[in-house]
């Protein structure tokens, strides 16, 4: 392994792979997995499905964006869940980065649309994992229950190919459109995320007063999904 890759084994302030709870979670989630690919796959599904996706409860302080915060609060969103997966991989000796893209998300709640005033999600987070000599994208944000609610094909990851959002849902409706990649990094770019969210989503804090889970249940039930 060359030094450019080894750099992504080290803990970072927000990808805090040396945190005791990250270490405990990583070892427990990986179970008996021995090779890097098996470890990464086990960790991916643990992060994807054990922590529900909640884009309403956004804490974009340094502490709120820290990987270990997902373990503390029990839920996350794309930025924090991707940080958790990167941290867990590093904790087990698998190099990992945090990656970001701007996407057009055609699937959201009415409250999100009214609050955000746009369907563009800036700084969508994913994890880039180094396996068998290549960097692979893995996106652990949407838990399996949420995918079922929204009639989405759950994102799978087998450690051999990228796992990024499908352009269409199971009914053929537009789902996710990647507009631009922002890059893959050693740590969460907290200051840049805060600056762009303040610019593009000035009303975002109002969503924390509501329940994403209840909104999803109400809107998908009304739509018959």
pLDDT for 31 equals 95
Report CA dihedral (216, 218, 222, 224) to the nearest 10 degrees: 50
Q: For residues 134 and 62, what is the distance between their CA atoms, to the nearest angstrom? A: 30
DSSP for the chain, please give it: --HHHHGGGS--SSS-TTSHHHHHHHHHHHTT--SHHHHHHHHHHHHHHHSEE-SSS---SHHHHSHHHHHHHSEE-HHHHHHHHHHHHHHTT--EEEEEEEEEES---HHHHHHHSSSEEEEEEEEEEEETTEEEEE---S-HHHHHHTT-PPPP--SSS-----SB-TTS-B-EEEEEEEEEESS--HHHHHHHHHHH-TTGGGGGGS-HHHHHHHHHHHHT-
Spatial neighbors of 59 by CB under 8 A, at least 6 apart, are 65, 69
pLDDT for 166 equals 72
Q: For residues 25 and 208, what is the distance between their CA atoms, to the nearest angstrom? A: 27
Structural domains of the chain, with CATH: 3-211 (3.10.620.30)
pLDDT for 41 equals 98
pLDDT for 110 equals 87
pLDDT for 68 equals 98
Spatial neighbors of 84 by CB under 8 A, at least 6 apart, are 22, 47, 51, 67, 68, 70, 71, 76, 140
- Ramachandran region, residue 145 (left: φ > 0; alpha: ψ -120 to 50; beta: rest): alpha
pLDDT for 172 equals 73
Residues in the chain: 225
Give 10-residue mean pLDDT values along the chain (225 residues): 89 98 98 95 97 92 98 96 98 98 83 88 96 96 85 89 78 80 97 96 84 86 65
pLDDT for 21 equals 98
Q: For residues 89 and 79, what is the distance between their CA atoms, to the nearest angstrom? A: 16
What average pLDDT is seen over the chain? Answer: 91
pLDDT for 193 equals 97
């Amino acid at each position: 392994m060359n030094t450019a890759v080894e750099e992504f084994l080290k803990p970072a302030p927000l990808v805090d792979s040396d945190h005791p709870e990250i270490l405990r979670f990583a070892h427990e989630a990986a179970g008996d997995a021995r090779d890097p690919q098996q470890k990464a796959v086990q960790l991916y599904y643990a992060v994807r499905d054990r922590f529900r996706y909640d884009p309403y409860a956004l804490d974009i302080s340094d502490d709120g964006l820290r990987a270990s915060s997902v373990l503390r609060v029990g839920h996350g969103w794309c930025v924090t869940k991707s940080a958790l997966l990167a941290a867990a991989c590093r904790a087990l000796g698998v190099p990992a980065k945090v990656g970001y893209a701007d996407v057009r998300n055609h699937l959201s709640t009415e409250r999100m649309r009214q609050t955000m005033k746009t369907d563009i999600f800036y700084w969508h987070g994913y994890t880039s994992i180094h396996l068998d000599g290549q960097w692979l994208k893995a996106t652990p944000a949407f838990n399996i229950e949420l995918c079922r609610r929204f009639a989405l094909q759950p994102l799978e990851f087998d450690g051999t190919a990228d796992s990024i959002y499908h352009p269409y849902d199971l009914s053929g409706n537009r789902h996710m459109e990647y507009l631009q990649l922002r890059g893959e990094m050693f740590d969460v770019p907290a200051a840049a995320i805060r600056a762009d969210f303040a610019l593009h989503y000035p009303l975002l804090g109002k969503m924390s007063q509501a329940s994403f889970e209840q909104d999803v249940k109400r809107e998908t039930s009304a739509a018959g999904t």
